Structure 1
Amino acid sequence: MPAHAALSMAYSREQKQVDRLVQLKISVNEDGSKATVSLPGYSLDDIDRTGNVSVSRIQRLLSAVRIAAYHTPNLITGVSFLEYDTLTSDCLTFMASTKTEVSRDLYTLVNLPELPALQAEIQLGYVGTSSLNSIALLRNKANGHVLAQNVNQVVTVDKVKRKPTPIPDWWKTKYVPVVSGNQRLIVAPLQIPDKVYDYQIHVAWSDIDGYGHTNYVCYIRYCLDSAMDAVKKNYFSKFEDDILLYHVKDMQISYRGESAAGDVLSLKAWEDESNPYHLYFDIASKGKTIFQCGMLFHEPHAGLARATKL
């Protein structure tokens, strides 16, 4: 099967999964600069073993709303948000880096009598020669409070050559004027110290996406698994009991390679010298770094972490 056909089928499966999971109401403002996606509240599947909202599920949700906005045509015009489906009909987009900020308010939603409906807003954040980024805000629909903000930096890649390819001039001419901020997301490479916590994980088939590679959200889970193992070995100075009792405040991630089912990944975890609530992770496959992440946690209030455990 040709690569482009396989990729088309993979996207089709992913889109169908998103459509089945949630009934989405999508609107685009008058100048076409912002798409708003209405969402139901979190479900039990979004809650981890400690009773906290799962940060990897947050990341997955922010990807799902982008897919929905980019590939759902307007019922009147027949055009999707930013004409992203047309842009990507001649190229692929690969994730280069991502940054996610999560407020304390998001984690307290689970303490409410009823989980509120959510709303996501997507805007174009930057356009370069062969890369772009988008900004997604997740809000509590009831009061408008921002619960999370995410920036995804992607590279446009030729489908056949698998090399970066320029963004078409027609698209840049039309959509650069609606860019918000126009700042490229750059995540600097991490320098791995001598003292780290080592951990290994086997990539399972259930972690594979429609393209045959490990789903990028799974790497977040791998990082937290390695941190959990380190916590149980009393490796970190501030974390105890269960890593999921602590609330992620900020994640900065860079993607440097790929892995597949059956691969054995080597993870290294360490804490920042000046802030023990700031952890770093490096994931390597076959001796080569494929993923790096800096994960900053909200400092817990006295007794907060243990009080939220189920």
Structure 2
Amino acid sequence: MDSSDDSRLLENQKGKRSNGGHQTALSVSSHHAQVLLRGIPLGYIDRTGHLSVWNASKLITETISIMNQRGFYHNKDVGNETRRLFLGRQKLVFSPRLHSDISKIMDTNILVNATPGKVGKSSKTMNMKITDESGVMLIKGTFTAILFDTETKRAVPFPKWYVEKFNSTLSYDDNGHIQAKNDVPSYAYKTQLKVRHSDMDSNMHVSNTEYLRYCMETATDASLSGYYNKYRRDMCWYPLLELDISYLAESRAGEMLDIYTWQDQNDIHFIYFAIHRDGTAIAVAAFEFGFDEVTSSNL
């Protein structure tokens, strides 16, 4: 589907609503999904007047849920009561316009397109592109999901029919150039937090989006304390250009987490995070920040 087709779909959908929500599935098949977002809800805007990264991720998660309910990638068919798909990694590249022009973007139609990526033995990828109503890219995303047995606590292989159905789809569309790191340097900045009950998702684990919030909260603590080079304000004021986060294990309400952050010694725009529980990493991430609202990105 080209940009002219997208524009016609957006024009046809203007003024229409589906079940009173701000998201409408325009077309969904096993190999492609397209969802219309009627702007960005005001509640997703952070304390600085910008779209927070954790709410951007939440918006994506909600959109993927709509796609899955309608048969995209056969995500509903591949699991059962004990075998479920869990997000293992997400890489997002953001247009600086999401930071500088959010007051305009939040009131416009936004189009989300998703396609299958690469299916392996027990993991698979998905590609996503989010554009404004004129077709200008806002976010590019690649996501890795793992089929997991909740009883054995191990990854399990996809059914043969599933691998065969998607073995000729698109390969992994990696648009990013940063990568999370597992090794925490001795000079890393450290904070601690106690997981709240409100941080849980329906699986009674910390929501994927909350880990991004933990990273941003820690980054702001570090920045305001003078730990980072050049960054001295609440980190929500700076444009986030790219992120890479890997989810390694689960955490639950009441647990204490240690969150580490440090800055790349060669490129100060790159800031890393590691979230530990009892000395073991449960998530690692890398963020690329800009300094102002005209910073360039990969989009």
Q: Same fold (TM over 0.5)?
A: yes
Partner of 1:288: 280
Structure 1 residue 223 corresponds to structure 2 residue 215: yes
| Whole-angstrom CA distance in 1 between matches of 2:293 and 2:154 | 48
Instruction: Give structure 1 stretches of 5+ with no counterpart.
Output: 1-18, 73-79, 305-310
Structure 1 residue 151 corresponds to structure 2 residue 129: no
Count of equivalent residues: 274
| Whole-angstrom CA distance in 2 between matches of 1:113 and 1:134 | 25
Partner of 2:99: 107
CA contact (8 A) 1:62 1:136 kept: no
| Whole-angstrom CA distance in 1 between matches of 2:21 and 2:63 | 11
Partner of 2:27: 27
Instruction: Give structure 2 stretches of 5+ with no counterpart.
Output: 1-18
Structure 1 residue 247 corresponds to structure 2 residue 247: no
Match of 1:263 among 255, 277, 291: 255
Q: 1:206 to 1:138 in 2, by over 3 A?
A: same
| Whole-angstrom CA distance in 1 between matches of 2:144 and 2:283 | 15
Instruction: Provide Cα deviations, 1:169-220, integer angstroms capped at 9, x if missing partner.
Output: 111222222x222468995643211101111111111101111111111011
| Whole-angstrom CA distance in 1 between matches of 2:173 and 2:129 | 16
| CA RMSD across the alignment | 2.3
Q: 1:274 to 1:20 in 2, by over 3 A?
A: farther
Alignment of 1:57-96 (within 5 A): 57-72=55-70, 80-89=71-80, 91-96=83-88
Q: Which has the higher helix share?
A: 1
TM-score normalised to structure 1 length: 0.82
Structure 1 residue 98 corresponds to structure 2 residue 106: no
Partner of 2:54: 56
Q: CA deviation at 1:274?
A: 0.9
Partner of 2:40: 42
TM-score normalised to structure 2 length: 0.85
| Whole-angstrom CA distance in 2 between matches of 1:219 and 1:239 | 21
Q: 1:295 to 1:20 in 2, by over 3 A?
A: farther
Calculate percent identity across the aligned residue pairs. 26
Q: 1:182 to 1:296 in 2, by over 3 A?
A: closer
Q: CA deviation at 1:258?
A: 1.3
| Whole-angstrom CA distance in 1 between matches of 2:237 and 2:207 | 24
Q: Indicate the SS of the match to 1:226.
A: helix
Q: Indicate the SS of the match to 1:26.
A: strand
Partner of 2:170: 180
Structure 1 residue 120 corresponds to structure 2 residue 118: no
Q: 1:188 to 1:222 in 2, by over 3 A?
A: closer
Q: 1:301 to 1:21 in 2, by over 3 A?
A: closer
